[in-house]
Amino acid sequence: MSLFEGLRFRPGKTFIHRLDPRVKLATSTMVLITAVIHIDIVIILLLLILESLVILSAKVQNLWIKTIRGALPLVAIVFAITFFSQYSREPVISTGLGYALTYSLRLLVFLSSFSLFFLTTTPDEIALTLQQLRVPYEYTFAFVSAIRFTPVMAEELQVVLDAQRARGLEVDKGPFTKRIRNLIPVLVPLLVNVIRRSYELAEAMEVKCFGASRKRTSLKQLNMSKKDVLFLAVVLVLFSIGLSVKLLGIEPVKTLPLLGTFFPS
């Protein structure tokens, strides 16, 4: 369940941790937009390299690596589907490989962007950011609660799996239908734990009179410093360059023809 490690906040005192969460959210959004509008593998690779450097500076590379490792099966599926879907259009090697690599790297960019934001931003800061974006507090609370409990549920699932394997349950062996049936002893305890946690959370909300007042106040307020403004300005400049490259039709490298020279059909 290492895929969900990217949703767990990792305390730290790095520059990225101290950034205003609104700046980090805006940066992640611009990275995602840049990755979506570009199909050139060079630009996608540059985005991934830049994200890797930022992740190293935030000192959360271990959890990031666990997240990427957990997502590798999904990346492999995207690569295979994209690679073979190009067969009927153009030569499969030059075109299919180019698109498959691009979309696989794009997925890694998405995962890295989300992981960096959640690994360096506390749930309380996420809630404050969403509140300032005029998101209703009920939806904000539901989203933040999901972010908090998803890694916990993943850990509990792993504990239940290990306990059932110790009792001789084979989840990974046998025909597909048998493996599905063997998941029932795993899902039932997990469902019970989820319901129990939901009741505990509901009781805690009732004790604290959740929703009794529409005028909510916060102990912590978000204030952008000069470093936040400078960092956001640099990101905006890079985003503008990437957007201009797309609008002007400039390709740093003719990716598909280049791949075709190495992998002739």
* C-alpha span between 88 and 164 (Å, rounded): 46
State the CB neighbour count (10 A cutoff) for residue 104: 22
Q: Spell out the residues 6+ positions from residue 7 whose beta carbon is closer than 8 angstroms to its own.
A: 115, 118, 147, 150, 151
Report the C-alpha gap between 8 and 141 in whole angstroms: 16
Cβ atoms of 142 and 149 within 8 Å: the answer is no
Of residues 3 and 99, more confidently modeled: 99
Sign (positive/negative) of CA torsion 80, 83, 89, 92?
Answer: negative
Would you call 9 helix, strand, or coil by DSSP? coil
Q: What are phi and psi of 170, to 5 degrees?
A: -105, 105
pLDDT of 43 above 80: yes
Query: What rounded mean pLDDT belongs to the chain?
Result: 82
Whether the pLDDT of residue 4 is over 80: the answer is: no
- Per-residue pLDDT, averaged over 145-149, amounts to 84
Residue 257 has a pLDDT of: 46
Q: Using 50, 70 and 90 to split pLDDT, how confident is the model at 87?
A: low
For the chain, percent of residues with pLDDT exceeding 70: 87
- What tokens appear for 259 in the block? 């791949």
pTM for this one?
0.78
Q: Token pair for residue 110?
A: 């998405």
> Do 36 and 240 form a contact (C-beta atoms < 8 A)?
no
Q: How confident is the model at residue 55 (pLDDT cuts 50, 70, 90)?
A: very high
Confidence class of residue 170 from pLDDT cuts 50, 70 and 90?
Answer: confident
Q: Between 167 and 77, where is the model more confident?
A: 77
C-alpha to C-alpha distance for 8 and 120, rounded to whole angstroms: 9
